Structure 1
């Protein structure tokens, strides 16, 4: 009896029967974090989970949510979908007040905005959270507090020519539109060195913060005052990236800027890189949407024809995922459901910049495709019926691509 008791007190959970493991996985079927946590226990549990239909970790998911302009007293639930089974929906909930919207996804981490318009990094599969410096760190934002010292709203100061104007915004409302895009330079899971770059303040500012820093560093405080101000009135930043010690930002009109970051994280002056990617106003293509790809290799001494051939071959074998996420260029053969030569994109802010396209497309909500082989500009929906009708024409994000990270 004693020997039996000792044996039972140290069970080998990896040797549980496969049919029992399968039954457990089925109970976790729609609980995505729980299912992935189950799969990470050991190799036998991982095999049982994936055999039962839990998608592999490297699967790109589209996370979607319904935007709200009013605070909620309940948790926010986001929906996860994958390309291989567009009708199956998994759900992940965020604690009350912690999620108003999302402005980025990199390395399996989300950059989420809470009800006070503050940013944090959150891993939706492990629930780990890393706070970022508050919105009041920016010189354009001033908090308004009630009699108990609680923040209720913000004064947002903007400058137009010689005039300065301050507008009052409810904190929750400001959270829905203040941030446009955020990317990470690396994976924060291991506590290593990484940085966060954001586009914000209506797309006019670019800011940057390194892990452990207490304050944001504004790289571009006003797009209207930079080197292209006389060429593109009304232009705003559309995307940003970090690569090899440099921060890049591209505008809706196709201009690219670069900041070199030294070892202390101090940026250089913005340098123009490329211009004229999007050519609006041409008679044949009013408000046209154009995708342009460039191979960046400063050390390569190749001819232009060789570069174009390599670029064409590379694009045709890959699936591209663009949007609020860190842009992903993935070999299609490694990802079930992804088609080679297809661009999967979401465009939450396109309503402001392409009204003529909006008339033809109907709305810019949800994820769409662009076929790079045929150049077919139909922008077909990836997930039909993804958004409620009330959310389709709003100027705020409703989806982001993310690939799970359990660390």
Structure 2
């Protein structure tokens, strides 16, 4: 069964509930799950989130208080778990289906973050971006907006695997690399230099874990790549691809196909004036968020490149037959439509992952659609796959593959 069907089965009768409980207790394997869009909805209620399945168009309501979503921004997802931050900007892993939660090391264990108390006695963080410059002062509850939103958090495995789950984060300043295994108390920093082999300290924009070779791969803003081995006592990195001309100003994703090939996806976006401005909440107060009811961020182009590590080059491809992409603040996915017949082949299912839209612009319209790689166009997801509950603008919807473990 899909996760949604399994959850629903437990509500049929007492004997089915007992079977469902046994399934959960014995951790029996379930099939690979199709991606779902996690979103909040007024129609679903204040204490409920919705999961819209892209393959079946079914919607599952799960207990997930809206206030919790508002307090804990969604910073990423992988293996059915969300990456969030608490009121002190400490990262947490949360399974929205089971409500299981795992805490990660404190933000102050990053190599360049220190805590202090200001003149009012309030806790604060110092972030040292450059040893020659004054540190940046951050309020704990907003530090995640500065530290994580532009970058990525990636898991090597489900947190149910315990110490076998490694969490790699790209963070400020300017895209540095740190990691931790579940249960660690600190975020070890992967410094550039001969000790690690990491070719560049800054500039990493995306990362992925490759289960075929047990390595992480890091993608730079200029499309250059390096591998990162975290299996030994010390990190070991190696450059595997040089920079690519005319790639600097495009949003980039690193994704692996089911056969093990790696792709780079470049996304061109532009702010446009919306013909239908959004309505701001009556209690909205214009502060640092600088809301613009007419502003929309639109995808204008998606370019796909096959990564040839043997010859250290990328080759542009114009189609992805039999496959569908899922792009956003989730760990990027490439899935075979044979495994999920309801998915549209040669399409990319996309959501917003611009840092302003995820962290600040709560009322602006979200871009949620499916990009036709063949036609180079993107209808809204709601136009081609109607949902029971229309999604809200906040928090920004995110793709996950639901898991009971």
Normalized against structure 1, the TM-score is what?
0.64
Are 1:168 and 2:137 matched, yes or no?
A: yes
Encode CA deviations 1:147-196: one digit per residue, 9 max, x unaligned. 999x743222222xx73122222222222342132111112224351201
Change in 2 beyond 3 A, CA 1:211/1:228: closer
Are 1:403 and 2:401 matched, yes or no?
A: yes
Paired residues of 2:40 and 2:66 also in contact (CA < 8 A): no
Within 5 Å, give how 1:40-59 maps onto structure 2: 58-59=33-34
**Bigger Rg, structure 1 or 2:** 1
Equivalents in 1 of 2:8, 2:192: separation in Å? 43
The match for 2:183 among 204, 212, 230 is 212
Change in 2 beyond 3 A, CA 1:399/1:274: farther
Equivalents in 2 of 1:251, 1:135: separation in Å? 23
2:303 maps to which residue?
291
Encode CA deviations 1:295-352: one digit per residue, 9 max, x unaligned. 5676xx9xx9xx989x888x31011112222222212133253101111123412779
Are 1:254 and 2:251 matched, yes or no?
A: no
Paired residues of 2:50 and 2:59 also in contact (CA < 8 A): no
2:35 maps to which residue?
60
Paired residues of 1:114 and 1:175 also in contact (CA < 8 A): no
Note the residue ranges of structure 1 that are not aligned, 5 or more in a row: 1-30, 47-55, 67-74, 230-234, 353-362, 392-396
Equivalents in 2 of 1:216, 1:324: separation in Å? 21
The count of aligned residue pairs is 319
Normalized against structure 2, the TM-score is what?
0.64
Give the deviation of 1:290 after TM superposition.
4.4
Equivalents in 2 of 1:181, 1:36: separation in Å? 35
Are 1:340 and 2:345 matched, yes or no?
A: yes
Change in 2 beyond 3 A, CA 1:155/1:190: closer
The match for 1:276 among 236, 240, 244 is 244
Paired residues of 2:48 and 2:61 also in contact (CA < 8 A): no
The match for 1:124 among 86, 96, 100 is 96
1:241 maps to which residue?
208
| Secondary structure, counterpart of 1:62 in structure 2 | strand
1:49 maps to which residue?
none
Which of 1 and 2 has higher RCO (CA within 8 Å, sep 6+)? 2
Within 5 Å, give how 1:67-216 maps onto structure 2: 78-83=49-54, 88=59, 90-94=61-65, 99-145=71-117, 152-159=123-130, 163-179=132-148, 180-191=151-162, 193-201=164-172, 203-216=174-187
User: Higher helix share goes to which structure?
Assistant: 1
Are 1:365 and 2:366 matched, yes or no?
A: yes
| Secondary structure, counterpart of 2:8 in structure 1 | helix
